[in-house]
Amino acid sequence: MTFTSNVKNELCNLETQNIEEISELSAIIRNSYRDNNCIRITTENILVAERIYRLINKTYDIQPKIVVRKGYNYSKNYLYILELKEVNFITKDLNIEIVPKEYLVADEEQIKAYLRGLFLIKGSINDPQKSRYHLEFTVDNLLYANFIIKLLKQYYINAKTVKRENNYMIYVKEAEKISDFLKIIGASKAVLYFEDIRIYRDNANMINRLNNCEQANVDKMISTAYDQIKAIEKIEKYASLEILSDKEKEVAIYRKKYPEVSLTDLSRIMSIETSKKITKSGVYHRLNKIKEVADKISNV
């Protein structure tokens, strides 16, 4: 079972008030097939079909006809289709227009209910454990898409839209905002699951970044040490370490003796073994002088 199905199943068990149910139904029917004499609501989730059936029956004392069909394009899923005939009064009552009237989203609970209905009929969300963070809705009209984006912005969820064939996809990719959306529509169990995975992934990503950074520093240190030793060997081959100052010569000897240690460790080793305090910057400065000497030799 997909994460989307789990979220929808949880939502189908929510206890709601009549005013919320009207807003939820409005979103569902607005995003279903309609003509003058028929409403046809299609879903692959049987619990969603049952919830919609209950909402219609409770609100309008009507029993929709239920048709079960095999999914299209060789899909293994069944389609559950609720059909309502000659129901102009329902579309008028629910204000099924391109953009619903303000009274359907007049307060916070109605907005939450409307977004819940939209998600039940047109929403999907990726499992955070298996793929990138992604929440989306597919709607049929740009004006309507902008209306939904405006509703989401009231909760500081910045959604984007993109045209997809004859429809428009509204999507959110920020993990924190997707979690906020789940809270808004009442999917509390899904929020706990989502947040557990998000925190784990964030920590894992941070550890990976630290490891990568540490590895990059190690690689850089080894590469720098290799260049320093090459410079020392060039001086030995084409001249002699005697052309260096005493301090530079001393650093050259220790660099070759300890080729894999960092400058910090090299300065500590030299300070201990020579009983003379030398800082990391002092070692760095002398090695730079050695490189300058080696460069001059190669240019002769």
Together in a domain, 160 and 289: no
Distant-in-sequence, close-in-space partners of 26: CB < 8 Å, separation ≥ 6: 94, 95, 96, 100, 104, 114, 117
**pLDDT tens digits along 36-62:** 778 899 999 999 999 999 999 999 888
- Domain membership flag for residue 196: no
Give the pLDDT score at 234: 86
Looking at the fold, whether 253 and 105 belong to one and the same domain comes out as no
Phi, psi (degrees; rounded to nearest 5) at 293: -65, -45
Residue 209's pLDDT is 74
Q: Quick one: 229 and 114 in the same domain?
A: no
Instruction: Say whether pLDDT at 95 is over 90.
Output: no
The verdict on 149 and 251 lying in the same domain is no
Region 120-124 average pLDDT? 95
Q: Confidence class of residue 75 from pLDDT cuts 50, 70 and 90?
A: low
Q: Residue 21: is its pLDDT beyond 60?
A: yes
Considering the domain architecture, whether residues 164 and 62 belong to the same structural domain is answered as yes
Segment 97-103 shows an average pLDDT of 86
Residue 206 belongs to some domain of the structure:
no
Does 101 share its domain with 242? no
Q: Are residues 158 and 13 in the same domain?
A: yes
Domain-embedded: residue 93 = yes
Range of the domain at 290: 212-299
Is 195 part of any domain? no
* Window from 90-94, 132-136, 159-163, 265-269 with minimum mean pLDDT: 90-94
Q: What is the pTM of this model?
A: 0.69
The domain tally of the chain equals 2
Higher pLDDT, 97 or 25: 25
Q: For residue 141, what is the domain's CATH number? A: 3.10.28.10
- Whether 11 is covered by a domain: the verdict is yes
**Residue 49 covered by a domain:** yes
**Same domain as 27, residue 153:** yes
